[in-house]
Amino acid sequence: MRSPPLIRVVFALLPHSLVLDWAGPAEALRITNQLLRAAGQPERFAIEFASPSPDAAGSVGITLSGLSPLPTGWDGPAWVVLVGLPGHTLSVEAPEAQALLHWLRGLRFEAGRLELVTICAGALLAAHAGVLAGRRVTTHHHHLDELRRTEPRCEVVANRVFVIDPPLCSSAGVTTGIDLMLHRIAQTCGEVLAAQVAQTMVVALRRGPQDPELSPFLAYRNHLHPALHRVQDAVCEAPHQDWSVPRMAQVARTSPRHLTRLFVEHAGTAPLTYLRRLRLATAQLALQSGASVTRAAEMSGFGSDTQLRRAWRQFGLAGSPSQR
């Protein structure tokens, strides 16, 4: 029986590339090869690190040396992986960035042959190279508007861990690159092996393409109001407690009416809606860990199974709590 083809995975790095963007996915591929060897099977991935220059400083100060030149020929299936860079915007004025963009423009991406994987602001590099037109793509939430401006011909998908639109796979960045690579490993080598890789990496919960990038525990926090953050911290720490608007107002040291005004103005939601979202997220985690619907309702602060099911429908979650 013929062995499956070896997939060449080229991490194309620029100076100051975010280390976690490439190191986590590369480790997932290395562990996959390790597990395959241990099972007496051939490796599936050949990992390379390429750059316009042989040396490049990483985002945390370490210098990578001995980097390969950007490939000019392809023999067999391959993935090109583009990763993010520090900063709220991405500059492509440096000679190394220009060389990378020129190289990308010469590639012809095709599903099953030469595929593109972007992590974090790597999607912006692809956008500047003009290879995202007509594609669905995501990136880190800080770069969504920048991506829309850079390539208005692509469909930018917000608040997703990763998006698959062959021959393009894009992720929101940082740890989501690991989620995306685990998904690709599952597609290539099977779910069982991908689960073994996740266990080896101590990835407790693999996220999929429909999962949101921003957890409800992190959402509604894009403001600088200290009293409101104080309330949100308290509710996040114990969403199961008997919270009411007056009790939240005591934490904020303000009136219930003023607290409601603060929530709407700075968080864009009402206090009790925020509380229900957190309780629902807590219940989802409990259900995923094997808790019954009744136990999940108790742990998250819902008064009954009925209240949990009502909140589930209110916020448009698929299926029902008992199906999780």
* Nearest Cα to Cα of residue 30 among 203, 204, 185: 185
For residue 317, give the amino acid letter.
Answer: L
For residue 212, give the amino acid letter.
Answer: P
Rounded to whole angstroms, the Cα distance separating 247 from 182 reads 43
Cβ-proximal residues to 290 (8 Å cutoff; 6+ apart), any chain: none
Strands (DSSP E) along the chain, which ranges? 7-12, 45-50, 56-57, 63-64, 78-82, 114-119, 136-137, 155-156, 162-165, 168-171
Give the pLDDT score at 56: 92
Give the pLDDT mean for 67-91. 94
Give the pLDDT mean for 1-22. 93
Of residues 1 and 323, more confidence is placed in 323
Distance (Å) of CA 53 to CA 92, 119, 179, 266: 15, 21, 29, 46
Asked if 299 and 286 count as a contact pair (C-beta separation under 8 A), the reply is yes
Which of 141-145, 150-154, 195-199 is least confident?
195-199
Q: How many CB atoms lie within 10 A of CB 226?
A: 9
Q: Is there a cis peptide before residue 271, judged by omega within 30 degrees of 0? A: no
Residue-wise pLDDT for 13-61, tens only, equals: 999 999 999 999 999 999 999 999 999 999 999 999 999 999 999 999 8
- What letter would DSSP give residue 321? G
Q: How many CB atoms lie within 10 A of CB 323?
A: 8
Which of 45-54, 70-79, 101-110, 285-294 is least confident?
285-294
The pLDDT of residue 217 is above 90: no
> For residues 76-102, b (16+ Cβ closer than 10 Å) or e, as one string?
ebbbbbbbbbeeeebebeeebbeebbe
Q: How confident is the model at residue 301 (pLDDT cuts 50, 70, 90)?
A: very high
What is the set of domains in the chain, with CATH numbers? 7-200 (3.40.50.880), 226-323 (1.10.10.60)
Cβ-proximal residues to 187 (8 Å cutoff; 6+ apart), any chain: none
Cβ-proximal residues to 236 (8 Å cutoff; 6+ apart), any chain: 217, 278
Give the pLDDT score at 79: 98
Distance (Å) of CA 40 to CA 7, 34, 120: 18, 10, 35
Give the pLDDT mean for 266-294. 88
Give the pLDDT mean for 182-204. 86
Give the pLDDT mean for 135-145. 94
